[in-house]
Chains A and B, each alone.
Chain A
Amino acid sequence: DADVTQTPRNRITKTGKRIMLECSQTKGHDRMYWYRQDPGLGLRLIYYSFDVKDINKGEISDGYSVSRQAQAKFSLSLESAIPNQTALYFCATSDNYNEQFFGPGTRLTVL
C-alpha cells in the first residue's frame, strides 16, 4: 500500500462549489504539507502542519483552508472554488528536516 494517499485522484467541479481533498499517511510523520502545481511555476506551498495542533499558512493560502484531523490525516478545502484554482494538488509528509514524501496528486478542474 502507498505510504501517502490522496482522494479523490481527479475531480471536476463548478465555480462556487465547496471541495475537500483528503490526504492520509502511514509513515508516522508529524509534518504534513499541501502544495499546488501549475505548469511552469513548480510547486507552491498552500498550508503546512508540524503536528495535530499546529497549522500554518504557506505562500498561497488565500481561498483555501485545512484541517488536521489526526496525525495521519490532513484535509484541504476550497470553500468556494474558482477557475484559477484548477491545478494539480499534492500532499506530502516529512520527519523534521528529512526529505518529503509525496502523494500521487489530485487533479482538480474548476469550470
Chain B
Amino acid sequence: AQSVAQPEDQVNVAEGNPLTVKCTYSVSGNPYLFWYVQYPNRGLQFLLKYITGDNLVKGSYGFEAEFNKSQTSFHLKKPSALVSDSALYFCAVDQENQGGKLIFGQGTELSVKP
C-alpha cells in the first residue's frame, strides 16, 4: 500500500536560514510526488511535483525538492527562509497508473521567525 511520512510535526527556522521539510514515501511502482502548502483558513496550494526526469525540481516561491529513489525521499528545501513561508506543508504521493489518488502525509508546520 502507498504511504507518506513527514517525520517532523514542526520545523522552526530563523529568517534567512535554509529550510528543509522532510518527506519519505512508500509505493510499489514509480511514484508521482507533490508538495502543497496551506496558509491559515485557506485551501491547499500546489508548490511542485516530480513525475520523471531531473531529480531536482523547482517550484513556486523559491522552493525546490530533491527526489532520492534509493532513500525513497522527497525533501522540500529553500535556500533562504522568509517569515511569509510560515505555513502547513503537505507531501503527497500518487502511484503510476493509479489515476490521481493522492495519499497525503500528516503535514509539517513550518515556523520562520524574524
Q: CB within 8 Å of B: which residues of A?
A: 4, 31, 33, 35, 40-45, 48, 50, 58, 90, 92, 94, 96-105
* Chain A contacts for B100, CB-based, 8 A: 31, 33, 48, 50, 94, 96-97, 100
CA distance A35 to B103 in the complex (A): 11
Chain A: minimal CB distance from B104 (Å): 4
CA distance A97 to B29 in the complex (A): 15
0/1 per residue, B39-77, Cβ < 8 Å to A?
A: 000111110010100000000000000000000000000
How would you classify the secondary structure of chain A's contact residues: helix, strand, loop or mixed? strand
Task: List the 4 shortest-distance A-B pairs measured between CB atoms, nearest first.
Answer: A102-B43, A42-B104, A99-B46, A102-B44
Q: CB within 8 Å of A: which residues of B?
A: 4, 9, 32, 34, 36, 42-46, 49, 51, 90, 94, 99-107
Chain A: minimal CB distance from B79 (Å): 23
Interface pair B90/A43, CB less than 8 Å apart: yes
Interface pair B45/A102, CB less than 8 Å apart: yes
CA distance A99 to B106 in the complex (A): 18
**In the complex, residue of chain A having the shortest beta-carbon distance to the beta carbon of B45:** A102
Other A-B pairs, 16, CB within 8 Å; known A40-B107, A102-B45: A4-B43, A31-B100, A33-B102, A40-B9, A42-B104, A42-B105, A43-B104, A90-B44, A94-B100, A100-B44, A100-B46, A100-B100, A101-B46, A102-B36, A102-B43, A103-B43
Chain B: minimal CB distance from A51 (Å): 11
Interface pair B43/A42, CB less than 8 Å apart: no
Chain A: minimal CB distance from B62 (Å): 18
* Chain B contacts for A45, CB-based, 8 A: 101-103
**In the complex, residue of chain B having the shortest beta-carbon distance to the beta carbon of A50:** B99
* Chain B contacts for A94, CB-based, 8 A: 100
Known: A104-B42, A104-B43. A58 touches B101 (CB 8 A): yes
CA distance A102 to B99 in the complex (A): 17
